[in-house]
Amino acid sequence: MDRMHIRLFELAAPFLDTRENGEHTRISYEFAGRLLDEEQGDPEVVFPAIILHDVGWKCIPEELQLTAFGPGKKDMNLNRVHEVEGAKIAGGILAELGYPASLIEEITEIILGHDSRKRAISKSDAVVKDSDKLWRYSDHAMNTNTERFGMTFRENLERLGRTLDAWFLTAAGRRMASERLLELESTYAVELSAEISD
């Protein structure tokens, strides 16, 4: 891993220590690297943005976090807090590491709208948004989200299939998500068939 990325992860770690965000961020970071092999986007923007995008969750009490994200009607004002506070925290971390002001502005702008803004403002933004959502198709998310949202594995797979077209902004992101869906079907084959016979 790039030395600067290691530093960013180190400085982000105290803020990612909630809502399984450490693992979420690590997995999204890996997807960002894969997306940048195929899609346009500035690595100088994308990697810091994805590493820091969820640091703002640390400002939201854990007992309230589940009211602010996930399927169904959610408190979007509270969700907004994680974007606004996250952009502030990220700006501080980037300044501490000596990032130029123009880069800090671009990165924090992406963080500021990573959930609430459905369209991308740049190629880098699209890659960040897709990397964030690709986590939902990981094994880690399959386990985490079924438990969090009280869903069966089948219900979660159906949800991921339904929302795929709406969520992804890049062709590579959509393709990787489809590939992951097939992989999840085989990885969780035992659990899925157990649910049918329940």
Can you give the binding site for Fe ion, defined by CB under 5 A?
Answer: 54, 115, 132
Nearer to Fe ion, 64 or 101 (CB): 64
Residue closer to Fe ion by CB (options 27, 94) is: 27
Q: Is the distance from CB of 175 to CB of 165 less than 8 angstroms? A: no
| Cα(154)–Cα(100) distance, integer angstroms | 46
Q: Can you tell me the distance from the alpha carbon of 2 to that of 6, in angstroms, rounded to the nearest whole number?
A: 6
Nearer residue to Fe ion within complex by CB, 54 or 85: 54
CB of 116 to Fe ion, least distance (A): 10
Least distance from Fe ion to the Cβ atom of residue 53, Å: 6
Q: Encoding tokens for residue 65?
A: 């976090």
Task: Give Cβ neighbours of residue 20 (< 8 Å, ≥ 6 apart).
Answer: 140, 144
CB of 195 to Fe ion, least distance (A): 27
Helices (runs of H) and strands (runs of E) counted in the chain: 11, 0
Q: How far is the CB of 193 from Fe ion (least distance, A)?
A: 31
d(CA 78, CA 69): 9
